[in-house]
Amino acid sequence: MKHKKDHADRSSRGGGGGGAGILMDKLLVPRLANYAMNHSLLDLDQVAEDMRKQYREYQRKQMAPFKQMVARAIKVVHSRGGVAKPELQMQV
């Protein structure tokens, strides 16, 4: 029985398949809020690529589900007001 419980725990953390069932990494929102201080969040492909380059654990995720997770996290960042106005953003 323990094996089934372990599998259920893993899928509840976002390790399972399915698009709508993908849970967000709890570190992704703060990482994106920090990223948004100096970068635009408008280009989902670029944001996902930059997150994968910067954080090793994202490199192991499949790109399509990871991009869905990033898109949802970006919405959370926007809803929390965590994106600086473009004129205040530092250009890199």
Residue 39's φ and ψ, nearest 5 degrees, are: -140, 155
- Domain assignment present for residue 7? The answer is no
- Domain assignment present for residue 82? The answer is yes
Planar angle of CA 31, 40, 88, nearest 5 degrees: 95
- The per-residue pLDDT for 81 is 83
- The per-residue pLDDT for 24 is 76
| Token duo for residue 13 | 């953390």
- Domain assignment present for residue 16? The answer is no
Average pLDDT over residues 61-77: 94
Query: Do residues 54 and 46 touch, judged by C-beta distance below 8 A?
Result: no
| pTM for the model | 0.66
Average pLDDT over residues 62-78: 94
Give the model confidence (pLDDT) of 72-92 as tens digits. Answer: 999 999 998 866 555 444 444
- Domain assignment present for residue 9? The answer is no
Query: Do residues 79 and 53 touch, judged by C-beta distance below 8 A?
Result: no
- Domain assignment present for residue 15? The answer is no
Give the model confidence (pLDDT) of 3-49 as tens digits. Answer: 444 443 333 344 444 445 567 789 999 999 999 999 999 999 999 99
Produce one character per residue of 33-60: b if its CB has 16 or more CB atoms within 10 Å, e if not.
bebbeebebeeeeebbebbbeeeeebee
- Domain assignment present for residue 12? The answer is no
Distance separating alpha carbons of residues 74 and 34, to the nearest angstrom: 11
- Domain assignment present for residue 8? The answer is no
Q: Could you tell me the residue range of the domain that residue 79 belongs to?
A: 22-88
- Domain assignment present for residue 57? The answer is yes
Q: What's the structural domain count of the chain?
A: 1
